[in-house]
Structures are given as structure tokens and as C-alpha cells.
Chain A
Amino acid sequence: HVQLQESGPGLVKPSETLSLTCTVSGDSISSYYWNWIRLPPGKGLEWIGYIFHSGNTNYNASFRSRVTMSVDSSKNQVSLKLTSVTAADTAVYFCAREMTVFGAFDLWGQGTLVTVSS
């Protein structure tokens, strides 16, 4: 039974860096793309980017100057860093596994709310 669990601070100050970790249990992170997706309050889902187990990344152009994703295969974890956050970055952040063939997100974490406020 594969599970994804996001973790990290629930409160980040404006201009600081948001850091989240997604821990995968029940399976190896190899052979999949691991995505970060967010849901701002009152808005729709927004794709942030993905990282392959090899470390290759692809980021949404809207975040490219601020985002970094990394993978730690020894811990079966992927991480997200988003710099220079503002209130607009307040959202529930999800990690999601992407099916290798059809590009669908077949497994999601429960999500973690990050609030940007001083």
C-alpha cells in the first residue's frame, strides 16, 4: 500500500523560503515522476513542477525563478523549495505520483497547508 506524506512548516514569513518534503512509503521512488501541485484558497489546482528519480526536473514557468526540487533516494523523499514567498503562495501543497505512460497523477498525498504571513 503506497502512501505519500507531505511535511514541513505550516507558517512561513513573507520573503522567506517555503520548504516541504514528501515521503514515499510502500514503494521505491524510482521509475516515477514526482510532482508538486498546490491549491490556493478559493482557487483551482496549479501544477508547480516535477522531478524524476534521476534528478531531472521540469518546472512551471510561473515558478521557475523561485522553485527547486530535489530527490533523496536513500530516504525515499522528494523535496520542494520555493523562495521569496508572498501571501499569494498560501495554499495546500500536494505531492503526487505521475503514471509513466499516461501522465496522470494516480497517487496523491493528503496535502499540507502552508500559510504565508508575518
Chain B
Amino acid sequence: QSVLTQPPSASGTPGQRVTISCSGSSSNIGSDTVKWYQHLPGTTPKLLVFNDNQRPSGVPDRFSGSKSGTSASLAISGLQSEDEADYYCAAWDDSLNGHVFGTGTKVTVL
């Protein structure tokens, strides 16, 4: 079972801004950096954000991460059709001594 909670779905029209939340606890988000992954079914998951708000080379700046306390968010600005995918947050959990993922959010571009 996931220890990081995300909304099951989010949606927006092209060009809009969509925000996905990720709620955790002091043993994970509260004490470790947050990562965000994008997964289009049938393809390889892609790292979008690491260290709470840093983007790997090649990830558009439309994707931005933030964190406050035991919660984090991923914002997608200028939504595009190719952004339609599943998004997962992740962190290290000190209590479980392992990586944990969020429940996942399916983003739909209307």
C-alpha cells in the first residue's frame, strides 16, 4: 500500500495549468527530497523532478515541483496533449527504510 497520497485524477484543457498534490508524513516527504515521475502506459517511466524542484536535462520547464512540510506538488503549465499520462511522487521513508511511491494521478487533457 502506498504511503504517499495523490488525487486519482486531474484534468485541464490545452494551455491550462494543472497541479497535482502529494501528501506524506515526517518520515518521508518531511525528511527526504521528493521526486516526480511521468508514465505513459506501455512506455518507460520518466523522471521529471528530483530534489523537490530540480529538473533533469531535457525536461521542459513547464514542469515544476515544490514542497512544504510533509506535502509536495507538481505543476504542469501550458498543458499539452502529450502530457496525458500517469504521474507519481516518490520519496525515501526513514521508518520503512525504503523508497515509497504515491498512489498516482492520471492527468487527462480535455
Contacts and interface: CB of A to CB of B under 8 A. Distances in A.
A94 B43 CA distance: 11
B63 interface: no
Contacts of B92: 103
Given A109-B44, A110-B44, A61 B35 contact: no
Given A58-B98, A61-B96, A45 B47 contact: no
Contacts of B45: 45, 94, 96, 105, 108
Contacts of B56: 106
Interface string B90-103: 10100011111111
Interface residues of B, number: 27
Nearest to B98: A60
Given A61-B96, A99-B50, A110-B44, A105 B37 contact: yes
Interface in B65-107: 88, 90, 92, 96-104
A2 B96 CA distance: 31
B97 A58 contact: yes
Nearest to B32: A103
Interface in B31-54: 32-33, 35, 37, 39, 43-47, 50-51, 54
11 contacts: A44-B103, A45-B37, A45-B45, A45-B88, A47-B98, A60-B96, A94-B45, A96-B45, A104-B35, A105-B45, A111-B44
Interface of A: 35, 39, 44-47, 49-50, 58-61, 94, 96, 99, 102-106, 108-111
Interface of B: 2, 32-33, 35, 37, 39, 43-47, 50-51, 54, 56, 88, 90, 92, 96-104
